[in-house]
Amino acid sequence: MKKICLTLTIVVFLLISSKGMQAQTLQTKLNQVELMKQYVGTWKAQIAKDTAMIFDITPFGNAYEGNINWIVKGQIINSGKWLWGYDKKRDKFIVEELWKYIDPVRIDAYWFTSDNTAESVPLYNISNPELSSSKAKLEIKSPDLIIHYFLRDNKVVNTYTYTREKK
């Protein structure tokens, strides 16, 4: 009888302990749509001495739309459009990027990994983002400063610093 009680006590203790451990490892789900609101506005990155990229993002229902301009020596040399739609099933944004003078369509999956960091990969890598050779990571340093890292084979190949344009 003592062995049965001891065994039951150990089993109950292990069950209680394992539930406690599971509860500690669960992470609260990030509200992707709410976090995306941090990008609403106009942003500028100085790419080189005479080259800048300016984009704006505005709400469109539960989605977002944006315009992008590459400017060299004060002249727009290329422009594009963004559509950011939230995919509830994947808990990610699907971003379609259309350019006037570049390969016409790019589609990425984009999601926040914390309140101030986000990642993106081409949509075709959404099932295995860790295997994607092409990635981007963003850090929101402040409400007016974003750092955008472009990675190839997990090595940073480009970094853009965006500042919010005041109206």
The string of pLDDT tens digits covering residues 82-136 is 999 999 999 999 999 999 988 768 899 999 999 999 999 988 888 888 878 889 9
With contact defined as beta carbons under 8 Å apart, do 108 and 123 qualify?
yes
**Any idea which residue has 């394992």 for tokens?**
18
**Dihedral over Cα of 154, 88, 99, 141: its sign:** negative
Name the phi and psi angles at 6, rounded to 5. -65, -45
Q: Where are the alpha helices (DSSP H) in the chain?
A: 2-25, 32-36
pLDDT at 25: 47
Residue 1: per-residue pLDDT: 56
- Give all domains of the chain, ordered by start, each with its CATH number: 32-164 (2.40.128)
